[in-house]
Amino acid sequence: MHDELIRYLILPGWQGSGPDHWQTHWQQLLPNAQRVEQANWQHPQRGDWVTELENSIAAEPTPVVLIAHSLGCITVAHWATTTTPALHAQVRGALLVAPADVERDNCAAPLRNFAPIPRRHLGFPSVLVGSSNDHAASQPRTLELGSDWGSQTVILDQAGHINTAAGYTRWEDGFAHLYQLQSRIEEHRRQRA
C-alpha cells in the first residue's frame, strides 16, 4: 500500500481469538499489528467495545486497516456510524470476516445488545468474507450486510464460521483477501487524488 506506515488492528469476536485462531497468527505476522483488547470477552457490551476500538484508533495518528472477525465486524459497523470525521479518516479499509448476525432468532443472548446492525455504507473500502454454511450468519444475510456496508463480498464454500473450530488456524489463503482489500484501498486513493 503505497508509502504509508499502516497499523493493523485485529478485532476478535465474542470470547476473543485463542492462540490457534488465524487472527492470532496474523497478529504475529503482520507488521505493526495489534489486537483491540476488550475488558469483557464473555459478556460484550456494544458501547464498551466501540469505545475500545475508538481508543485504539486514536492512540496513534497513523493510518489503520481493521481486520475483524464475527462480533468484531458488527463493532466496526457501529463504530463507523458514531465516530468523528477525523478518526474515521484514519481508517484506510477493513477486512470483515464471518460477521455475526446479532439479529437472528438463535443469536446468543450476550450478543443481542449489538442489535440493530447498522445498515449504512462504512465510508471506507472493505472486503467481507463469509461462508455458505456459517451458523452465525446465513449466506443471504451476509450478502445483504456486504451490500449495506459497501463491501466487496466473497462467500467461501462450506467454511463454517471461519474460525479455529472450522479448521481456520494459520489461514494463509486469507491473505489473498487482505491483498484484495489493499487493491481496493489503492483504487480508492487514486480516485480521490
* Tens-level pLDDT at each residue, the chain (193 residues): 445 689 999 999 999 999 999 999 999 999 999 999 999 999 999 999 999 999 999 999 999 999 999 999 999 999 999 999 999 999 999 999 999 999 999 999 999 999 999 999 999 999 999 999 999 999 999 999 999 999 999 999 999 999 999 999 999 999 999 999 999 999 998 988 7
Residue the block writes with cell 477486512: 95
78, 118 Cβ separation under 8 angstroms: yes
> 69 - beta bridge partners?
97
**Alpha helix ranges (H) inside the chain:** 22-29, 46-58, 71-82, 85-90, 139-149, 175-192
pTM for this model (two decimals) = 0.96
